[in-house]
Amino acid sequence: MEGGEEGIKETLLNKRYYENCPGCKVDLHKAGQRGLPIKELFTVWVVVLGTALPISSLFPFLYFMIRDFHIAKREEDIGSYAGYVGSAYMLGRALTSVFWGIVADRYGRKPVIIIGTFTVVVFNTLFGLSINFWMAVITRFLLGSLNGLLGPIKAYAAEIFREEYQALGMSTISTAWGIGLIIGPALGGFLAQPAEKYPATFSKDSVFGRFPYFLPCLCISLFSLVVAIGSFWLPETLHIHDSEMPPQDSYKALEAASDTKEGNESIPKENLFKNWALMSSIILYCIFALHDMAYSEIFSLWAVSPRKFGGLNYSTADVGEVLSFSGFGLLVFQLFLYPLVAKYFGPIITARVAGVLSIPLLASYPYIAMLSGITLSVVINFASMMKNALSISIITGLFILQNNAVDQRQRGAANGLAMTGMSFFKALGPAGGGALFSWAQKRLDASFLPGNQVVFFVLNVIEAIGLLLTFKPFLVVRQNT
């Protein structure tokens, strides 16, 4: 046993282990770690979930919130204003993601994670207390601007796990993200307007009666508060080396450490914009992010809109039920099916198949609206579950490609760059999706792609473009050596 520990220390010696460096301490822990890193997986999962929950929790009730603000002059215009609120978060995140990536590379992943989770606590709570349209837009914008942890948490996951578990770590992020984007709307659907749904528990004169959309936001903020406090005990993974030498006295150890330092830290950082393996994966990520965010906005608006406009006439609770079922199905798929498929076919082939299957699935949505009763319930639940599972299959593969395209020194900046591009496209998603949805409701009698058919046709065009770009020569894959 002692010989094994000595072997680990000797290996780390050759990798320039510094006693007071937090990143080196993590490397030392990883070198001696055996078995599945359950604690680390759970930590990453919870942090990402706390960030993902507020992003789409508003979708089930946003239509009704805009209606209550009385800013839309016509019912058909509600979708456009809802899109502006949905886009505010992503616009704020797009403007600051590179900044937070640079902060993570300079000062560490942990401070950015802590600041991001506390941001959710403050501004998600204020959003639930919004009294007008502009307060809702501003609080969502500030929430996006100050919560910059999604890029750094991907770098963190690439560093906290041993190499053989890095793909699992990235899968954990995409799983938590996907489930957060499902549970969030479910909470919004079930807990919004509690005085109307649960009059025996919530009075119309209570704070939840006066602020009908506060309860789901409060629940998410309380969860994020627990995550924020727990984040103080996270280990830092960034390597911070000063002039101290490794804690060994032998000339051989000093020489090995010195040679490694000269051979590694003197290498100039690569221009990320010239790294096509990174840039091609980021562009793909942006296209699929635009599609997914537009879909999330459109699905919720479509589900709650009246039958006369081609919608399902669902309540917020009905939407919550659909999205809850989708979340459970997504969890089962990601834990048991996706790892097997990705192992045999690889992330790129898996993403391509997912893109191909998404197109006919989305094309069927306008016809699903013609169903009713139990048939509608079964079909829409299955379709929603399938769509989210296919989307997560694509995103997971792109996470892995992005982090493999750069070394640790630039992972925070690279993920920040990816978040900036993705956030700009996701900002376009709700605004464009809302505007497209409102326009579609005004052309129900059109001869070509009437009503909602044009909405899902445009979504499929975006999906097809992303699918085509997963092939060479556009997409370049760089393997880690």
Q: Alpha carbon of 139 to those of 123, 132, 171, 211, 471: distances in Å?
A: 6, 11, 30, 15, 40
Kindly report, residue by residue over 143-178, the tens digit of the pLDDT.
Answer: 999 998 887 887 788 778 777 777 677 777 877 877
Please indicate, yes or no, if residue 356 is contained in any of the structural domains.
yes
Please indicate, yes or no, if residue 467 is contained in any of the structural domains.
yes
CB atoms inside a 10 Å sphere around CB 243: 4
Same domain (yes/no): 390, 306: yes
Q: What is the pLDDT of residue 23?
A: 67
Q: Alpha carbon of 69 to those of 86, 134, 211, 298, 460: distances in Å?
A: 15, 10, 12, 20, 33
pTM of the model: 0.72
Structure letter (DSSP) for residue 235: P
CB of 50 within 8 A of CB of 183? no
CB of 45 within 8 A of CB of 161? no
Please indicate, yes or no, if residue 7 is contained in any of the structural domains.
no
Q: What angle do CA 224, 334, 457 make, to 5 degrees?
A: 95
Please tell me whether residue 201 adopts helix, strand or coil conformation.
coil
Is the pLDDT score of 91 beyond 50?
Answer: yes
Structure letter (DSSP) for residue 481: -
Please indicate, yes or no, if residue 375 is contained in any of the structural domains.
yes
Kindly report, residue by residue over 244-287, the tens digit of the pLDDT.
Answer: 444 433 333 334 333 433 444 445 567 788 888 888 888 998 99
Give the count of domains, the chain.
Answer: 2
Same domain (yes/no): 228, 307: no
Please indicate, yes or no, if residue 10 is contained in any of the structural domains.
no
CB of 101 within 8 A of CB of 410? no
Please enumerate in sequence order all residues whose Cβ is within 8 A of that of 29, keeping only pairs 6 or more positions apart, or say none: 235
Please tell me whether residue 1 adopts helix, strand or coil conformation.
coil
What's the rounded Cα separation, in Å, for the pair 411 and 252?
Answer: 31
Please indicate, yes or no, if residue 138 is contained in any of the structural domains.
yes
Please indicate, yes or no, if residue 262 is contained in any of the structural domains.
no
Domain hosting 66: range is 37-239
Is the pLDDT score of 322 beyond 60?
Answer: yes
Final residue belonging to a domain, choices 223, 239, 255: 239
Please indicate, yes or no, if residue 204 is contained in any of the structural domains.
yes
Same domain (yes/no): 380, 472: yes
CATH number of the domain where residue 315 is located: 1.20.1250.20
Same domain (yes/no): 169, 304: no
Same domain (yes/no): 56, 176: yes
Backbone angles phi, psi at 425, to 5 degrees: -70, -35
Same domain (yes/no): 296, 156: no
